[in-house]
Structures are given as C-alpha cells and as structure tokens.
Chains A and B, each alone.
Chain A
C-alpha cells in the first residue's frame, strides 16, 4: 500500500472513532434506534429490494430477448 492510501485508511479509522464517540455520548442520540435503522436498511436493501430488482430485470430481459431474437439461451440481467 502506498503512503497516500495508508493515510486515507488511517484518516478513515480516526473519523470512524469520532463518529462512534459522538453516537455513544450525544444525549440526543437513541443508539438502539440508530443501530436498528442501520441494520434494517442494509437487510431490506440486500435481502428484499435487490432480489426483487434482479428478478424483474431478468424477466424483462428474457421477454425482450424472445421478441428481438429467437436465441433461447441469451441470459437474464441478474
């Protein structure tokens, strides 16, 4: 790793530590709520939204391929 990249990573770790300190000490932060929401958006995106998006685009690509060419094996969009 070059020096510039090492500095970026170290700066990132320092900023993460600052963020963690803020999340733990700010009296306006409801930590449980923030953590639940962070986990929820991650799980909903990766586990629900993306599979639906891929399924829809696969179906659309299949229909389009069937219309434009007769080649049956041209893949989906997955």
Chain B
C-alpha cells in the first residue's frame, strides 16, 4: 500500500483540476460564440460588480427572512420564537417579499451584463473551469427559480409549478446560497469608477427596483396601500374588509360550521370539555387588535373578540404559563389543518379563540364559528373553523 503525504495529494488534485480538456474545432465557433458577437460597450466588470453586490445583498435578506419564516412554521427543538413584538413577523415577511420582488430587475440586469460570458470560447478549458461554469449555471438556475417561483406563489398561480412550493422554495434557497458562496470565493469585486452611461443604466435598474417596491409595499405598509398597483392583494379587500386565502367552501367545511350540533372540544390533563356556541359566548370575552400576516407578504390589522386561549387551557386543567396547545380545524385534511401553539403564545393574553371580527360574528371565510388569532405568527398557523383543542403540559 502506497502512503501519500498531504502535499502529494494536494498537488495531484491541483494537477487534475488544471488538466486541460480537448479543444473544440475552430469551425464550430459560430453565432454568439464568434469574437465580437456582443458589441455593446455598456457592459463592464465594474458595472457587473455593482449589480452583483446589490443582488447579493437582496438575496441575503431574502434568505435570512425566508429561513426565519420556515423555522417558525417547522420549529426544530432548539428554535424559540416570541409572541412579542406583535408585528415582528409582519416586518420580516413583508421584507422577504418586498426584497424578493425588488431583486427581479437586479437579476435581469446582472444576467444581461454577463450574458456574453455564456459564450466563452473554448467552452471549458480545464476540469476546474468546467466545474466553475457548472457552479455558475447552478447559481443562475437557482436565482431564476427563486424569483420566478416566489412571484408565481404570491399571485397564487400554483398550476405553473410542478412541485410543492414551500418545500422547493426552501431547498432551492440553500442551493442558491451555496452556489453564491462559491461565486463570491472565485470572483473579485471591482470598484473602479464607471462612465456616465453605465451610471445611468445602474440608476435605471435602481429606479425599476424602487418603483416595484413602492407599488407593492402597500400590501403590508398601510400608508402605501392606495398605490399598491402591482400588489396581488390589497389589505382591505375581502369579507369584513379583510383578505382571505382559503374560503370555507374550498376547505370543505361550509356545511359543518353551520351544523347546530357543533361543539368545540377542549381536551386537557383533567379530561375533555365540550362547548357549544352559547357556552363559548358565556365565557369572559376579550378584544385584541392584531394583524393577520400572510406568508405571501400581505398583512392587515383588525379587531378580534373572543375567549383567551389561556383561559381555555386553565379550564382544561393545565397551567397556562407552561402549556402547549394543538388547535385543530373542522377541515378533513390539508397541510394546515392542525397548528401547534407554543407556550410563548399560549401564555400571551392577546392569543384568542376569536368569535368576532370588528364586532360582528366571523364571516364563514374568516373561520366561523371560531378561529385562532395570536400575535407575531404567520397567517397559515392562525387555524380557522376550530373544532378541537388538545392541551398538554410543556415537557
């Protein structure tokens, strides 16, 4: 058996990495591969660097805020998420969607500025060169994937995506960040001064990103709502002046929620309690002003009235300071049928099983007869049409 020293292994790897690949025939060099096929004098490495820096920053913000949203919805054991400030998730998720939309013109301009490099001749000089180009292809594909799928998702065009959006958007984000780190390690940022026409181009791209932000931010930033021309949702459109993502009919609960035999079951350490609507209304009622914040970036604040979840937890025989509640919908299926309310949120007196919205009974599409509403939580976890609550002591 031959023993290799560390230096020998590294030198062998380096030689393999730099070993030349066979050159393609010169007569294959046609079309965009011809020298001088891209005459625009506007492109420059300094321009590409600046566009890349802004795009990298936008992607970093998207990655951190997106990962946070993922962790809130699928919390691992070590993760902790507070119930205050009540608008924290509204800010982070609003930032995620706004930054993602603003990165679209940056991505278009960045890819335009490096497009001629796609037709480098020869296409691959060495093994290392081929691997680096493969990493760039992964970076470009993942970037386009994230921006396009994100936009399709906020416009709810699921039919165009042959995958389950949230899982794919999550894993391709890791793909994008990995490829971006490699890109940062192999490229040099250039900071030399730019000519006036390049500056104008950069300004134009910046203006496009700014306008997109201005015309969509209204879906979560209330003063901008009147000019939210590009936003898929307005915060005040829908039954009772509040948007709806899933209607009672779509969830298949339209009949069950009006059944006179409706009871809310609250199961805890001391057994099961059953409440009809009159019993729920007879419990102490509390009012909270809380936003409903969708993962798609829109949010809207409303006044909710109902029973405190911590009061129900206490009735079920658990300590409301240290309890976890599983809130189940009357829906027969669906990914968001059940949500777990961590002790931070159970404890919070603003967490309600709401019976009323803006003083009136909940509209069927807002979760009649009862829905969960808690501070600082994504909308998909604010379970509607609540049929059962299971309480357990925090382990």
| Given A29-B168, A33-B161, A42-B144; A5-B115 close (CB under 8 Å) | no
Q: Knowing A12-B178, A23-B175, A33-B163 touch, does A45 contact B39 (C-beta < 8 A)?
A: no
Chain B residue numbers with a CB within 8 Å of A38 are 141-142, 145, 172
Interface of B is mostly: helix
Chain A count of residues within 8 A CB distance of the other chain = 40
Contact with A41, one of B144, B162, B163, B177 (Cβ below 8 angstroms): B144
The verdict on B354 contacting chain A, using a C-beta distance below 8 Å, is no
Partner of B141, one of A9, A15, A23, A39: A39
Known: A42-B137, A78-B37. A34 touches B168 (CB 8 A): yes
**Size bin of chain B's contact surface:** 35 or more
A-B pairs under 8 A by CB, number? 118
Contact with B along A1-37 (1 / 0, CB 8 A): 1000111110111111111101100101110111011
Contacts of B277 in A (CB 8 A): none
Partner of B178, one of A15, A37, A45, A77: A15
The listed residue (B40, B111, B142, B170) touching A45 by CB distance below 8 A is: B111
Task: Identify which of residues 109-147 in chain B touch chain A, using a CB-to-CB cut-off of 8 Å.
Answer: 111-112, 115, 118, 135, 137-138, 140-142, 144-145
Docked complex Cα distance between A14 and B248 (Å): 44
Complex: A17 Cα to B179 Cα, angstroms: 11
Query: Shortest beta-carbon distance, A67 to chain B, in Å?
Result: 17
Within 8 Å by CB of A77, from B40, B144, B163, B185, lies B40
Contact across chains for B162 and A26 when beta carbons are under 8 A apart: no
- Which residues of B sit under 8 angstroms from A55, Cβ to Cβ? none
Query: Is A72 interfacial (CB 8 A cutoff)?
Result: no
Taken together as a complex, chains A and B put the C-alpha atoms of A52 and B163 apart, in Å, by: 28
Asked if A36 meets B162 with Cβ closer than 8 Å, knowing A8-B185, A18-B174, A23-B175, the reply is yes
Instruction: Indicate which residue in A6, A17, A20, A41 contacts B145 across the interface (CB closer than 8 Å).
Output: A41
A7 and B185 CA atoms in complex are apart in Å by 8
Q: Which residues of B contact A30 (CB under 8 A)?
A: 162-164, 168
Name which residue of chain A comes closest to B185, CB basis: A8
**CB nearest neighbor in A for B149:** A37
- Rounded to whole angstroms, the CA-CA distance of A77 and B118 in the bound complex is 17
Q: Of residues B40, B137, B138, B166, which shows the largest number of chain A Cβ atoms within 10 Å of its Cβ?
A: B40
Contact between B174 and A19, CB atoms less than 8 A apart: yes
Partner of A78, one of B39, B141, B142, B185: B39
Quick check: B168 and A50 within 8 Å, CB to CB?
A: no
Flag if A29 contacts B163 (CB, 8 Å).
yes
A29 vs B166: C-alpha distance in the bound complex, in angstroms?
A: 9
Residue in chain A with minimal CB distance to B132: A9
CB distance from A60 to the nearest CB of B (A): 12
* Chain A CB within 8 A of B88 CB: no
Contact A28 B164 (CB under 8 A): yes
* Structural contact, B174 and A42, CB atoms closer than 8 A: no
A69 to B325, CA, bound (A): 74
Query: What 10 new A-B contacts, CB under 8 Å, besides A12-B182, A18-B178, A28-B164?
Result: A9-B181, A15-B177, A18-B174, A19-B175, A29-B167, A34-B145, A37-B145, A38-B142, A46-B118, A76-B40
Residue contacts A-B, CB under 8 angstroms, 9 given? A12-B185, A16-B138, A16-B174, A19-B172, A30-B162, A37-B168, A38-B145, A75-B41, A76-B39
